């Protein structure tokens, strides 16, 4: 039985989904950091809150990606292929790219959780909102650098 060869379209679609997995969060991060810093410097509460909301949207996006199975490593080997590799005594040399970026997506979720108190504190005019938005930005930037580090070795 002849297996169906992947077409150019399916390869491009796979590459396209991989590209979205690492570029879309970068846009979220830079937009959130830029808007939050602008609101902080210009003392505009609306922009600070929008920056925190963008961090929360990034966390929601990350939850959708993780719960949708886009980062699941089990989808890349069929059970038969996995059993063959186990029986041959070979180890799987390389973790798929989608599985490697899981820590970054987890950090985006943590960043969203940290950004929630920042919104409430900023609405109540408490100065401590600055610490929460700072930590949310740092955690999101950690995820960004995880992705950049992984991309360097592809």
* The CA-based dihedral angle spanning residues 24, 145, 112, 32, taken in that order and rounded to the nearest 10 degrees: -60
pLDDT in the model for residue 53: 95
The arithmetic mean of pLDDT across residues 57-66, rounded, is: 91
pLDDT in the model for residue 116: 95
Domain residue ranges of the chain, discontinuous segments joined by +? 21-70+93-152
Range of lowest pLDDT (28-32, 76-80, 134-138)? 76-80
Range of lowest pLDDT (14-23, 77-86, 136-145)? 77-86
- Give percent above pLDDT 70 in the chain: 73
| pLDDT over threshold 50, residue 9 | no
What is the DSSP secondary-structure string of the chain? Answer: -PPPPPPHHHHHHHHHHHHHHHHHHHHHHHHHHHHHHHHHHTT-HHHHHHHHHHHHHHHHHHHHHHHTTTT-GGGSS-HHHHHHHHHTTPPP----HHHHTHHHHHHHHHHHHHHHHHHHHHHTT-TTHHHHHHHHHHHHHHHHHHHHHHHHT-
pTM: 0.76
Q: Residue 11 and residue 110: Cα distance in Å, rounded?
A: 33
What interhelical angle do 45-67 and 8-41 show, nearest 10?
Answer: 150
The arithmetic mean of pLDDT across residues 82-100, rounded, is: 62
Residue 8: which pLDDT band, with cuts at 50, 70 and 90? very low
pLDDT in the model for residue 76: 53
The arithmetic mean of pLDDT across residues 121-128, rounded, is: 90
Residue written as token pair 């949207």 = 57
DSSP collapsed to 3 states, 55-96: HHHHHHHHHHHHHCCCCCHHHCCCHHHHHHHHHCCCCCCCCC
Q: Which residues contact 56 (CB under 8 A, 6 or more apart)?
A: 112, 115, 116, 119
**Mean pLDDT estimate for the chain:** 80
């Amino acid at each position: 039985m002849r297996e169906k060869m992947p077409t150019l379209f399916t390869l491009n679609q796979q590459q396209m989904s991989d590209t979205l997995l690492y570029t879309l969060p970068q846009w979220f991060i830079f937009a959130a950091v830029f808007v939050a810093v602008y609101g902080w410097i210009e003392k505009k509460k609306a922009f600070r809150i929008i920056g925190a909301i963008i961090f929360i949207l990034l966390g929601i996006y990350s939850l959708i990606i993780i719960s949708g199975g886009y980062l699941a490593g089990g989808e890349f080997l069929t059970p038969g292929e996995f059993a063959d590799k186990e029986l041959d005594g070979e180890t799987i040399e390389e973790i798929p790219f989608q599985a490697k970026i899981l820590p970054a997506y987890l950090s985006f979720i943590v960043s969203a959780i940290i950004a929630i108190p920042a919104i409430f504190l900023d609405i109540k005019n408490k100065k401590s909102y600055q610490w929460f938005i700072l930590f949310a930005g740092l955690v999101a930037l950690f995820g960004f650098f995880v992705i950049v580090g992984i991309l360097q070795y592809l």
